[in-house]
């Protein structure tokens, strides 16, 4: 049984709650491993179409890496922690089913890095975002220096990373860090509504879209559009493609099987 996360199945959605409210859901190594294990256990489960990650309590999504654990690290241990966490966030980013971070409060440091590895971020009006590592004399180590500029552009990313300043949910939305902002009580329903829309689509196509966007951004444009053409072609080998196009022609709702 995991100690620091809660899992709950809501229809086709797995809800994962980071559950260390006494420390504002700070991420220690065990929490990261439990998160990875929870995702691995549903990766090939056809009953689970997507995942929401949120934080326990009203105050925080995740207030960063666990500073007490970090304070004990030597250079080799800190690098190992960074590499291991980055592997887990890479697994999350490349997960074949949509993952939404439902950000219910502080979303700082490693919390913001976790949220940025998710496919989308929705925020409660009370959410606060930031990369405050410089306040501790360290730098982001879970992909923050790379995913933040890719999401919001280099200048805004450097401003956030170098000042350590926090921004509110509206500003996060304005710069493209948060996809949508909801009232606190409507946050989970808002995330579920996005996933429920995706569940109506062809699951293989959804998976290939995630792959095209993730891998394509790491390639040159010429290589990336070639990748897109290859994955587009692959769609035409699926039953979902036959069903989706037939349903359109027959003016009925498609019944996708994910094959």
Residues identified as active-site:
113, 133
**143 vs 203, which CB is nearer to ligand COA?**
143
Q: Quick one: 118 exposed, middle or buried, by C-beta within 10 A (0-12, 13-18, 19+)?
A: buried
Q: Provide, rounded to whole angstroms, the least separation between the CB of residue 167 and ligand COA.
A: 13
> Of 42, 92, 101, 108, which lies in the binding site for ligand COA, with binding defined by CB under 6 A?
108
Both tokens of residue 75? 């250079």
> Of 24, 194, 208, 209, which lies in the binding site for ligand COA, with binding defined by CB under 6 A?
24
Q: Per-residue x/- marks for ligand COA, 42-81, CB under 6 A?
A: ---------------------xxxxxx-------------
User: Does the protein bind ligand COA through residue 210 (CB under 6 A)?
Assistant: no
> Of 106, 129, 182, 199, which lies in the binding site for ligand COA, with binding defined by CB under 6 A?
106
Alpha-carbon distances, residue 171 vs 125, 127, 129, 151 (angstroms): 10, 10, 9, 14
**85 vs 238, which CB is nearer to ligand COA?**
85
Counting every residue, how long is the chain? 259
Rounded Cα distance, 250 and 60, in Å: 48
Q: Provide, rounded to whole angstroms, the least separation between the CB of residue 179 and ligand COA.
A: 23
Rounded Cα distance, 184 and 214, in Å: 30
User: Does the protein bind ligand COA through residue 162 (CB under 6 A)?
Assistant: no
Rounded Cα distance, 133 and 149, in Å: 16
Q: What letter does residue 21 receive in the DSSP assignment?
A: G
Q: Provide, rounded to whole angstroms, the least separation between the CB of residue 107 and ligand COA.
A: 10
Q: Residue 6's Cα: distance from chain center in Å? A: 17
Both tokens of residue 44? 């090939």
Q: Provide, rounded to whole angstroms, the least separation between the CB of residue 196 and ligand COA.
A: 32
Which residues here bind ligand COA, judged by CB under 6 A? 23-24, 26, 63-68, 106, 108-110, 132-133, 135-136
């Amino acid at each position: 049984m995991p100690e620091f996360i809660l899992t709950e199945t809501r229809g086709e959605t797995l809800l994962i709650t980071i559950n260390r409210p006494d420390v504002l859901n700070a991420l220690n190594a065990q929490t990261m491993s439990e998160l990875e294990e929870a995702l691995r256990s549903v990766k090939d489960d056809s009953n689970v179409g997507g995942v929401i990650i949120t934080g326990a309590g009203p105050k925080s999504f995740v207030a960063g890496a666990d500073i007490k654990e970090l304070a004990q690290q030597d250079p080799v241990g800190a690098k190992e922690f960074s590499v291991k966490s980055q592997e887990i966030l890479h697994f999350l980013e490349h997960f074949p089913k949509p993952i939404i971070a439902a950000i219910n409060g502080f979303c700082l440091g490693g919390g913001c890095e976790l949220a940025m590895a998710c496919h989308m971020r929705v925020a409660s009006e009370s959410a606060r975002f930031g990369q405050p590592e410089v306040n501790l004399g360290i730098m982001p180590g879970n992909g923050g220096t790379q995913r933040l500029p890719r999401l919001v552009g280099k200048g805004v990313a450097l401003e956030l990373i170098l000042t350590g300043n926090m921004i509110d949910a509206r500003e996060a939305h304005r710069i493209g860090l948060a996809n949508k902002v909801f009232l606190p009580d409507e946050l989970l329903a808002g995330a579920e509504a996005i996933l429920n829309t995706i569940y109506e689509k062809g699951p293989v196509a959804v998976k290939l879209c995630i792959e095209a966007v993730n891998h394509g951004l790491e390639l040159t444009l010429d290589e990336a559009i070639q990748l897109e053409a290859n994955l587009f072609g692959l769609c035409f080998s699926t039953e979902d493609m036959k069903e989706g196009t037939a349903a359109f022609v027959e003016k009925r709702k498609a019944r996708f099987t994910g094959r």
